[in-house]
Amino acid sequence: MFTNKKTEKLPEARSSSFNLIASGTEITGDITTTGDLRIDGRITGNVSCTAKLVVGNGGDITGNVHCYSGEISGTVQGHVVAKEILQLNQSALIQGDIEAMRFIVEDGASINGRCTTSRSLALPEHLPEVKLISYEEPQAISE
């Protein structure tokens, strides 16, 4: 009937492992982990993380992202879902829709898509196929 917050476990089975995709590393394929994940390299595929996901300044994901919580400073081309909180730092570039229970957007972050907040987000058992979209660097306007 009553639960003790100190002993109560999260619904997701989250492990204490830490995974790093270093700068200069390129991976083609889906990544699934129950531990924290930091991406400073390039991923072409879906990323699913039941813990915290960090995409560094040089991190680049072309695929859908599902995580428990996330902090993005790099580039994501695909649908982003965070079950808890998602933070977009000033250097973040998102090309796709975002769903999160809560999210923080720093001045300078770029989003090209719809943003939705919801109290009842769940991590899917199977990620949908990603549709690759093309992205062109913005050009400076000269007079």
Tens of pLDDT along 29-44?
999 999 999 999 999 9
DSSP one-letter code for 96: S
Question: How confident is the model at residue 137, as a pLDDT?
Answer: 65
| Residue 103: band (very low, low, confident or very high) from pLDDT cuts 50, 70, 90 | confident
Question: How confident is the model at residue 118, as a pLDDT?
Answer: 76
Q: Is the pTM of this model over 0.85?
A: no
Of the candidates 39, 104, 90, 41, the one whose C-alpha atom is nearest the C-alpha of residue 65 is 39
| Residue 60: band (very low, low, confident or very high) from pLDDT cuts 50, 70, 90 | very high
Question: How confident is the model at residue 1, as a pLDDT?
Answer: 42
Question: How confident is the model at residue 87, as a pLDDT?
Answer: 97
Mean of all residue pLDDT scores within the chain: 84
> Following DSSP, what letter does each residue of 15-83 receive, concatenated?
---EEEE-TT-EEES-EEESSEEEE-SEEES-EEEEEEEEE-TT-EEES-EEEEEEEE-SEEES-EEEE
